[in-house]
Structure 1
Amino acid sequence: MDVGNSSAKWRLVRDGAVVTRGAYRTDDTDSLAALLACADHLDDVWVSSVAGPEQESALQALVTKRWPVEPWFARTAATTGDLRNSYAEPVRMGVDRWLAMLGARDRNSGRLCVVDAGSALTIDLVSAAGEHEGGYIIPGPALMERALLLDTDRVRFAEDADYTLAPGTSTAEAVRHGIALAQAGAVSIALEQVTGSAPALLFCGGGGEALMQLLDQGGQWAPELVFEGLEVMAALRP
């Protein structure tokens, strides 16, 4: 399970293969019912969660009530395998970032740049030796738009507009295109700060594929990097 800030995703794995997947919200009874009906029996439940303690406790109760399995919550570590954290307090790094880097490293043993475009845009660099070289956390498109609407009186629009890089000719376009420019520009400038060998680019998150296309610098679209990293970390448990 990959529990984010706004929704959660899950996938059911049998004999190493994903057999079904879905998403749920705690206030959506249909999506919760689909989760609880995904299997009659489970051997393990692995969770990546950036939610708070109350939400995690509620999820734990939900799982243990449906299946006699205690969920395992992944936590960011100082080291996992050969991936080494740069934070003085490793637990302060969001576990989704850590797992995405683990998943990326499992795919590619070279130098990496992992871009996760979700509620927040995160950009993380990993050396070929597995050292986290640092990263960036930037508001995602919805947060950027909300900030503009909340904190400015004259930025208002009702019409829809796509996220593209062309200059906007209406307020809606100027806002959405400006946000697209900021997101793509952030990744581009982050890459400009890199010295030495160019990292392989991997994109994940709900907006990752669109951002990869906007940036137009190549890269690999890997939508389930967090799940892949979760499997890697679970396999390394004592």
Structure 2
Amino acid sequence: MSLYLLFDVGNTRLKWAAVESTQYPSDQQKKLWAYSGSIGSKSLQSAEHRAELADYIARTLPKPNAIAFSCVAGQEAIDKLQSLFPQWEDVEWMQLLGNSPFDGIRSLYQDPSKLGSDRWAAIIGGRTLSKTNTLIINAGTATTIDLIGSNGLHYGGWILPGLSLMQKSLETNTAQLPLAVRGETHHGFGLSTNDAIIGGCDAAQIGAIQYALNVAKEMNQPVERIWIDGGNAKILANEMRQLGKPNSISIETSEGLVLRGVWAWLLKNL
């Protein structure tokens, strides 16, 4: 039995998971990520934190047969990531890029090399879970919305500031607006400045998703399923469900869509 170690290095969080060759990316069982973890991506900048991370993973797992990763945090982060396990120097590191081929999926991006590897990995991950017209949403530091058709075509997508960035921009660039704090869920117009900011940012995100559904329908690619991942996934999914729209579309959160996509791509390239 083989073991594969996977990394997703984002702008805010570094996530990892280990999977066995007896498992499959299309499996949605809850214990799929039995060996996994997450830390701040900036931890890679510290030699002490890198040593702690490497020691923890090496003590937790046996030597992997391959290591695969996606990274959008820059070349320095990649270099530091690949320095973690000198004792495993014979293990191959494989990097998923935005233009890495994957059987059954093709992007219509003008220059696929400019497509973020996290978006591409999430698209692959979503495709392993469902083969219908699907919106893939990664709600993290940025919110990305991508459309993949049942025909395997990635029709492109959008990138907008995530919830925290939206809220922070109001605090940073205005004289009197504070950094809002999320409290109890409130629907409708805000009756305080705090609720107005939280509700407004939520509405902007939900509005973008609804607009994406409308555009997909105009393209004769009506969406049947929405997969949402990222730190704000539950917030957006709950908001959409409580609004009751669209009631004909399955809205599901899936932890680790990027890792799942990296995993599926790795299996195709072993």
Supply the distance in 2 between the matched residues of 1:119 and 1:214 (Cα, whole angstroms).
Answer: 18
CA contact (8 A) 1:103 1:225 kept: yes
1:69-121 deviation per Cα after TM superposition (whole angstroms, max 9, x unaligned): 24211112264111111122111111111111111111111211111111111
Partner of 2:255: 223
Question: 1:20 is matched with which residue?
Answer: 35
**Identity among equivalent pairs (%):** 28
Change (3 A) 1:149 1:89: same
Question: Higher mean Cα deviation, 210-219 or 173-182?
Answer: 210-219
8 Å Cα contact 1:162/1:177 also seen in 2? no
* Matches of 2:74 and 2:179, distance apart in 1: 34
Call closer, same or farther: CA 1:35–1:175 in 2, change over 3 Å.
farther
Distance 1:162 1:89, change over 3 A: farther
Q: Aligned partners of 1:157, 1:193: CA distance in 2, in Å?
A: 33
Aligned-CA RMSD value:
2.2
Q: Over residues 181-204 of structure 1, what are the superposed CA-to-partner deviations in whole Å (9 max), with x where a residue is unaligned?
A: 111111111111122242121111
Amino acid at match of 2:188: A
Q: Does 1:86 align with 2:101?
A: no
2:75 alignment partner, one of 29, 50, 53 = 53
1:171 CA displacement? 1.7
Determine if contact 1:164/1:214 at 8 Å carries over to the other structure. Answer: no
Secondary structure at 2:11 match in 1:
coil
Q: Distance in 2 between matches of 1:213 and 1:102?
A: 24
Check if 1:111 corresponds to 2:136: no
Aligned to 1:9: 15
Q: Does 1:67 align with 2:91?
A: no
Match 1:214 to one of 229, 239, 248: 239
Counterparts of residues 60-209 of structure 1 (less than 5 Å): 60-63=82-85, 65-68=86-89, 69-77=91-99, 79-156=101-178, 161-162=183-184, 164-195=186-217, 196-199=220-223, 200-209=225-234
CA distance in 2: counterparts of 1:159 and 1:81, whole angstroms? 44
SS of the residue corresponding to residue 114 of structure 1 reads strand
Structure 1 SS opposite 2:108: coil
Is residue 3–residue 49 contact of structure 1 (8 Å, CA) maintained in 2?
A: yes
Q: Identify the range of structure 1 (32-41 vs 175-184) with the bigger mean alpha-carbon deviation.
A: 32-41
In the TM superposition, residue 236 of structure 1 has moved relative to its aligned partner by 1.8
Is contact 1:161–1:176 with CA below 8 Å preserved after alignment?
no
Letter in 2 for 1:15: S
* Letter of the structure 2 residue corresponding to residue 177 of structure 1: G
The separation in 1 between residues aligned to 2:128 and 2:38, in whole angstroms, is 24
- SS of equivalent residue, structure 1 residue 11: strand
Structure 2 residue runs of 5 or longer lacking an equivalent are 1-6, 24-32
In the alignment, the residues of structure 1 paired with residue 137 and residue 173 of structure 2 have an alpha-carbon distance, to the nearest angstrom, of 28
| TM-score between both structures, scaled by the size of structure 2 | 0.80
| Secondary structure class of the residue paired with 1:193 | helix
Taking structure 1 as the reference length, the TM-score comes to 0.90
- The whole-number CA distance in structure 2 between the counterparts of 1:66 and 1:163 is 49
User: Conserved in 1, the CA contact under 8 Å of 2:167 and 2:180?
Assistant: no
Q: CA deviation at 1:56?
A: 0.5
What count of residue pairs does the alignment treat as equivalent? 237
